[in-house]
Amino acid sequence: MSNEINRIGINTGSVNSYAHQPKDTGKSEKKETETQQANAPAKQQVNPDDVLSYMAQNAAVINPQVAAVRTYDVSKYVTPEQAARIAGFIASFDEQVAKGLIAIDEEFGENNVLSEPAKYEIAAAMVK
């Protein structure tokens, strides 16, 4: 059987470089780790309460408090007829969502596993 690798022209001496490495007694590795440990800075202990308080302060920056709901003067933006029409659409939508909630409660029974937000999501999606 012939060596197929040599036909391709691969240098088989560099394929397995571990076979050609000089043997090491391990003394140089010990010296390197000792010098690395000597040069390493001392680790400072941190109080866990300080870490938790720092995280709490940063959480307030990342998740700012939600502003209070503002009310708008609708008369500045729409006419009274438009406001009445929009109010009628909203009332119709609320009525259809309420009917959907009743239908969901009837379908799944009293001991259903759906949460309130899930019920409202399904009922709102049912409105056409």
The token pair at 94 is: 């609320």
User: How confident is the model at residue 34, as a pLDDT?
Assistant: 65
pLDDT class of 85 with cuts at 50, 70, 90: very high
Do 101 and 109 form a contact (C-beta atoms < 8 A)? no
User: How confident is the model at residue 99, as a pLDDT?
Assistant: 94
The token pair at 33 is: 């780790």
The token pair at 43 is: 């680790």
The answer to whether the predicted template modeling score (pTM) of the entire model surpasses 0.85 is no
Q: What distance lies between CA 20 and its chain's CA centroid?
A: 49
User: How confident is the model at residue 4, as a pLDDT?
Assistant: 60
What are the tens digits of pLDDT across the range 18-60?
655 556 555 556 666 666 666 666 678 888 898 888 887 776 6
Picking from 112, 14, 44, the residue whose alpha carbon sits closest to that of residue 123 is 112
What are the tens digits of pLDDT across the range 90-105?
999 999 999 999 998 8
Q: What distance lies between CA 108 and its chain's CA centroid?
A: 32
The residue-averaged pLDDT of 58-85 equals: 81
Do 124 and 95 form a contact (C-beta atoms < 8 A)? no
Q: Which of 9-13, 54-58, 83-87, 111-115 has the lowest mean pLDDT?
A: 9-13
- To 10 degrees, what angle do helices 116-126 and 80-108 make? 120
